[in-house]
Amino acid sequence: MRTRPTIALIIAMAIVVNACASGGDAQVDETIRPFSEVQANEFSFENDSTFPGRGIFRVTTTEPMICAIVWGETEALGRFNNSLDMNGTGIVEHDVFLPDAEAGAPYFYRVQGSTADGTLYQSQMMTFTLPATGNGNLGDAMGQHGENLALGASVVDVSSEFSASWAAGNALDDDLATEWSSGGDGDEAFITIDLGSQQDVVGVEFLTRSMANGTATANTFWVVVDDGDRLGPFQAGNPADAKFTPIEFRGQIIRFEIDTSTGGNTGAIEVRVFAPTDSTGAGMGG
């Protein structure tokens, strides 16, 4: 998931980063307070069970803060992530995705942020290592289907979009780093795609987006074909387990409707509509 720092956060972090630009040996500006003064629990790091190759950082603070973790392979750091739950304001429960954090690899990090009175806080330079893990079940099921017809489809309707960065087209680009996020639609979120012509379909997948705290997660979904048959509900998947759903129909306009969810800015990393295989195992379209 992409994270987008707020303007206030960028300003606050720029001040902090300038104060410690020399890495771990830098003198910390005396106007920057130790992060421990606002830290309610220990920093924790874990693998994201729904998304191979992504970690989650968690900490709770004693008062609302705009907060971020700056991390990287060396003390030069270079990566910057914050919780999307902030949405322009301070929070106390900071659950932050760490994209491309490899299990078993050591990383350096600092945690830093600002409270509403403008006080800046920063931790010492420390290290973390995510626990080693297996590759997970990617749920490919390629023997059961051919090509993903959604890659050539277009979005013709969507319940809402959180912003241009979270547009519905992100669910059709075969890129797990981009997502469609609704603007708080919860169970009412939907996306409708046009395959361009009538197609035979043998299965679908709905890879739900989610927040690090578990919100915005779709649990089940419906499939509506050409404004007619409503099929499902089916279980939503994720990048670690796509949950391929075998289902046969012929259609052109396919609407994915979230049935149940944990609420919030629900949406999808990818929606997939699969053609049958031919006798050689190759995908069929048209």
Token couple for 18? 């300038």
Hey, how many other C-beta atoms are within 10 angstroms of the C-beta on 211? 19
Q: Does the pLDDT at position 244 exceed 60?
A: yes
Architecture of domain 142-274: Sandwich (2.60)
Question: What pLDDT shows up at residue 96?
Answer: 95
Q: Does the pLDDT at position 160 exceed 50?
A: yes
Residue 222, burial from CB neighbour count under 10 angstroms (0-12, 13-18, 19+): middle
Percent of the chain with pLDDT over 70: 82
Average pLDDT over residues 93-105: 93
**Tokens 């270079």 correspond to what residue?**
78
Question: What pLDDT shows up at residue 86?
Answer: 63
Token couple for 46? 């874990």
Strand 126-129 to strand 54-72: parallel, antiparallel, or no bridges (unpaired)? Answer: unpaired
Mean pLDDT computed over every residue of the chain: 86
Quick: pLDDT tens for 22-51: 344 444 456 899 999 999 999 999 999 899
Cis peptide before 52 (omega within 30 of 0): no
Residue 67: which of 95, 48, 46, 42 has the closest Cα? 95
Q: Does the pLDDT at position 157 exceed 90?
A: yes
- Give the torsion sign (CA, 263, 95, 81, 103): negative
CB-CB contact of 92 with 60 (8 Å)? yes
- Give the torsion sign (CA, 37, 40, 46, 51): negative
Question: What pLDDT shows up at residue 223?
Answer: 98
Least confident piece of the model among 57-71, 183-197, 230-244, 269-283 = 269-283
What global pTM score does this model have? 0.78
Question: What pLDDT shows up at residue 91?
Answer: 93
Show the CA angle centred on residue 168, arms to residues 236 and 85, nearest 5°: 75
Domain ranges of the chain: 7-129, 142-274
CATH number among 3.50.50.60, 3.40.640.10, 3.10.129.10, 2.60.40.10, domain 7-129 = 2.60.40.10
Least confident piece of the model among 110-114, 144-148, 155-159, 201-205 = 144-148
